[in-house]
Amino acid sequence: MLNEEKVILMTQMASYEENEGKKNMAIGRYFRSDYITIQVLKSILCATIAYAVCFALFIFYDFENFMQDIYKMDLINFGRNVLLYYGITVVVYGAASYLICSLRYAKAKKSLKCYYNNLKKLNSIYNE
């Protein structure tokens, strides 16, 4: 005999798993610290690539003058400024990523909580 309540619950859960549940489960599979660490590392990598691209564009913007002044300029000071701006970029972007990923994780966990409650309900129906 089919238990209609069970079928409806399982249908809702299957629908959730196929749609928004996919992304939430991929997030929920990690511990909070692990998920945020991975996302912040990816963000730092992207910020590094973006900074490198901007630096290359900056060099090519005034390439002739740069090549002429390269022997006259204080390279250590120049390198220190480049690293300082890189550090600021990475810190700011990493902090923004941290905040966004924390919010995303909290939202995914909240959604999964409902799903796990349904799972408990289903378990209790089976145990009846």
Interface residues toward another protein, by CB under 8 A = 2, 6-7, 10-11, 14-15, 18-19, 42-43, 46-47, 49-50, 53-54, 57, 60-64, 93, 97, 100, 126
In the complex with another protein, which residue's Cβ is closer, 50 or 73?
50
Q: Specify whether the CB–CB gap between 40 and 99 falls below 8 A.
A: no
- Work out how close the CB of 28 gets to another protein at its nearest, in angstroms, rounded to a whole number: 19
- Work out how close the CB of 86 gets to another protein at its nearest, in angstroms, rounded to a whole number: 14
In the complex with another protein, which residue's Cβ is closer, 11 or 80?
11
In the complex with another protein, which residue's Cβ is closer, 49 or 82?
49
Q: How many CA atoms lie within 13 A of 112 on its CB side?
A: 16
Q: Specify whether the CB–CB gap between 52 and 103 falls below 8 A.
A: no
From CA 119, how far away is CA 122, in angstroms rounded? 5
In the complex with another protein, which residue's Cβ is closer, 73 or 92?
92
- Work out how close the CB of 18 gets to another protein at its nearest, in angstroms, rounded to a whole number: 6
Q: Which of 108, 109, 128, 121 is nearest to 10 (CA)?
A: 121
Q: Specify whether the CB–CB gap between 114 and 12 falls below 8 A.
A: no
